[in-house]
Amino acid sequence: MSANSATLKSKEELIEKWGKPEVITGSEMLLRSLLLEGVDCVFGYPGGAVLYIYDAMYGFDDFNHLLTRHEQGAIHAADGYARSTGKVGVCIATSGPGATNLVTGIATAYMDSVPLVVITGNVATSLIGTDAFQEADIVGITMPITKHSYLIRDVEDLPRIIHEAFHIANTGRKGPVLIDVPKDISALKGLFQPSNDVSLRGYNPTVNPNKHQVDKMVRAIEEAERPIILAGGGVVYSGAHEELYEFITKTGIPTTTTLLGLGGFPSGHELHMGMPGMHGTWTANTTIQNADLLINIGARFDDRVTGKLAGFAPKAKIVHIDIDPAEIGKNVPTDIPIVGDVKAVLQQANAVAKYAGKADAWRAQIQEWKAEKPFKYLDSDAELKPQWVVSMIHETTKGEAIVTTDVGQHQMWAAQYYPFNKPRSWVTSGGLGTMGFGFPSAIGAQMGNPGRTVVSINGDGGMQMCAQELAICAINNIPVKVAILNNQVLGMVRQWQELIYDNRYSHIDLSGSPDFVKLAEAYGVKAFRASNKEEARSAWEQALAHPGPAVVEFVVRKHENVYPMVTQGSTIDQMIMGDAE
């Protein structure tokens, strides 16, 4: 599986090859600099302002580029690559509409702290500000949703800027960095000298925590009778899953993982309570509301987790560990703030942490709650239930797949019924909630993890937003397995309209959607349809056995809801439990 026949070389080999200063074009500098950063796949779509860059790719066998069918597909693929590998994702688009088509993907990565380097073309420097053909101020447009932006003015700045961009994107609180390259800069020649050093005044993220603050947390644990850990995406992004496991097993503190934190701590562990918040477990939400100590590790107290802020964790002393000081105290008042990289904080804490000895009764109570109130649904042999489908996917992949999702009911069912035991196995749009994200992000995850099974679980709404990327799966034999939970409706919107808007169903009917089997086959992708359990299992097993990409359309119950559910304006212990209760 590859986008082309590129044979990747090590950085040492490339430095040896390009070690001597050489006069080359800006486009050649750009490609060489990306390879020196260890980039093994770039996702993109050409256009007029980047033609010199694409011309430099011609015959450049070291460079691996995957041509998507839409710029949004390119940036979501780069995002999925980054989340699943821990590397920086890279995409390229042309000026004007090409660049603006990236905006949703940039915002998606920014909200979820995903490291991307986004390269856009621009009109020539002499035309900037003249409303030239396909000109857009993409630096200005994306300023609120990028970690940093560059507009290249001098061709010889390119190696330094690319090196800085990767450093900024993948350090501190990670995020997208934009590099805007005017067309004439990409054509100009200059002296290429690889950049190895970074010196940025004013950018020095705090990695190592204040020891006194860590000691305060340790003392609070020793005194607590009802402690709880809320682990977020920061655990995964910092590579701190082993340190978190040691911390939890050493202290014995029950733990809940946020939507983006899933996989940061094994779902099957006895101290894991599942996901908290709007569609979280009864145990996690009840535990938060009764805790006397809540340790937030790399989560940002998102409103989907906290519910009504005024009633969130009302009995708890709050410890908040985060690399971004702006997050601490932003939503929830913090008693013990700890600024630093999660991995470094936990390493320091593990050296001195002790078992929470006063919490034995609390741990016993939580085990009772877990047994009494697991996720439940009313199964059916007459209709295919989406929860059953997700559980079947988990069973047949043995829980070892990388799972990506779009946004909506299927996303929550995947989070609830596909337990994760490894980090970077779960790829989903959390903060922005971007429909269209699920399928192209799976392509990026598969490119970054060619030896693993990648499953993309989608709804029939979101699948249509980037379905054109089926073409590149077929052409490049990218073996993503796509599960479409087709309920012929915008499911989560329908659920809200049922429960909150008194069954006033407004503009949610997707029954005119295409025949997904025929659509996939039109792109050259193997496809199946299932409407009962026997068909579902058979179709899915055939899809998994197929060596290339495959799509399975599961025709599921239209009026199925995601439970538990906490409505907006409620505290997280005010849960609607659903029909199964």
Asked if 27 contacts 187 with a C-beta cutoff of 8 angstroms, the reply is: yes
Q: Identity (one letter) of the amino acid at 383?
A: E
Please tell me the predicted confidence (pLDDT) of residue 196: 85
Which among 72, 21, 138 has a CA at the least distance from the CA of 438?
72
Please tell me the predicted confidence (pLDDT) of residue 250: 98
DSSP state, residue 145? G
**pLDDT tens readout for residues 211-232:** 999 999 999 999 999 999 999 9
**Whole-number Å distance between alpha carbons of 368 and 19:** 64
Q: Identity (one letter) of the amino acid at 362?
A: W
**Whole-number Å distance between alpha carbons of 277 and 283:** 11
Please tell me the predicted confidence (pLDDT) of residue 132: 96
Question: What is the CA 134 to chain-centroid distance, rounded?
Answer: 31
**pLDDT tens readout for residues 366-402:** 999 999 999 999 999 999 999 999 999 999 999 999 9
For 191, the enclosing helix (H) or strand (E) is: strand 189-192
Asked if 552 contacts 486 with a C-beta cutoff of 8 angstroms, the reply is: no
Q: Identity (one letter) of the amino acid at 525?
A: V
Please tell me the predicted confidence (pLDDT) of residue 537: 98
Burial of 250 (0-12, 13-18, 19+ CB in 10 A): middle
Q: What 3-state class would DSSP assign to 558?
A: coil
pLDDT band at 7 (very low <50, low <70, confident <90, very high): low
- Is 133 among the residues known to form the active site? yes
Token pair 């659920």 is found at 495
- Is 134 among the residues known to form the active site? yes
How large is the average pLDDT for residues 1-5? 45
Q: What 3-state class would DSSP assign to 320?
A: strand
**Whole-number Å distance between alpha carbons of 90 and 570:** 40
How large is the average pLDDT for residues 254-263? 98
Please tell me the predicted confidence (pLDDT) of residue 8: 60
Q: Identity (one letter) of the amino acid at 319?
A: V
The runs of H, that is alpha helices, within 37-91 are 51-57, 71-85
Options 133, 223, 242, 534, the catalytic residue = 133
- Mean pLDDT check: name the lowest of 12-21, 249-258, 321-330, 548-557: 12-21
**Whole-number Å distance between alpha carbons of 331 and 548:** 46
228 contacts: CB under 8 Å, gap ≥ 6: 253, 254, 255, 256, 287, 288, 291, 293, 294, 295, 316
The tokens describing 544, both together, are 């998994």
59 dihedral zone (left: phi>0; alpha: psi -120 to 50; beta)? left
422-457 b/e (C-beta count within 10 Å ≥ 16 → b): ebbbbbbbbbbbbbbbbbbbbbbbbbbbeeebbbbb
**Whole-number Å distance between alpha carbons of 491 and 458:** 12
pLDDT at 2 over 70: no
Options 9, 60, 134, 189, the catalytic residue = 134
386-407 b/e (C-beta count within 10 Å ≥ 16 → b): bbbbbbbbbebbebebbbbbbb
More confident residue, 18 or 378: 378
Contacts 24+ apart (CB under 8 A), 33-37: 33/158, 33/159, 33/162, 33/163, 33/194, 33/195, 34/63, 34/90, 34/162, 35/9, 35/62, 35/63, 36/11, 36/163, 36/194, 37/88, 37/162, 37/163, 37/166
Average pLDDT, the chain: 96
Please tell me the predicted confidence (pLDDT) of residue 581: 64
Asked if 456 contacts 516 with a C-beta cutoff of 8 angstroms, the reply is: no
How large is the average pLDDT for residues 151-180? 97
**Distances 520 to 405, 406, 489 between C-alpha atoms, Å:** 18, 18, 20
How large is the average pLDDT for residues 302-328? 97
**pLDDT tens readout for residues 146-162:** 999 999 999 999 999 99
How large is the average pLDDT for residues 4-8? 49
User: What domains appear along the chain, each with residue ranges and CATH number?
Assistant: 11-192 (3.40.50.970), 211-372 (3.40.50.1220), 386-562 (3.40.50.970)
Q: Identity (one letter) of the amino acid at 438?
A: G
Please tell me the predicted confidence (pLDDT) of residue 3: 47
The tokens describing 338, both together, are 């700890």
Token pair 């994702």 is found at 89
Q: Identity (one letter) of the amino acid at 460?
A: D
**Whole-number Å distance between alpha carbons of 168 and 181:** 18
Please tell me the predicted confidence (pLDDT) of residue 19: 72
pLDDT at 262 over 50: yes
How large is the average pLDDT for residues 434-443? 98
Burial of 41 (0-12, 13-18, 19+ CB in 10 A): buried
Question: What is the CA 283 to chain-centroid distance, rounded?
Answer: 25
Options 183, 317, 343, 481, the catalytic residue = 183
**Whole-number Å distance between alpha carbons of 194 and 29:** 9
526-530, strands of its sheet edge to edge:
426-427, 402-405, 454-459, 481-486, 550-555, 526-530
Options 28, 71, 327, 553, the catalytic residue = 71
pLDDT band at 178 (very low <50, low <70, confident <90, very high): very high
The tokens describing 68, both together, are 């998507």
DSSP string, 427-494: E---SS--TT-HHHHHHHHHHH-TTS-EEEEEETTGGGGSGGGHHHHHHHT---EEEEEE-SB-HHHH
The runs of H, that is alpha helices, within 265-381 are 282-290, 303-306, 342-350, 360-372
**pLDDT tens readout for residues 269-278:** 999 999 999 9
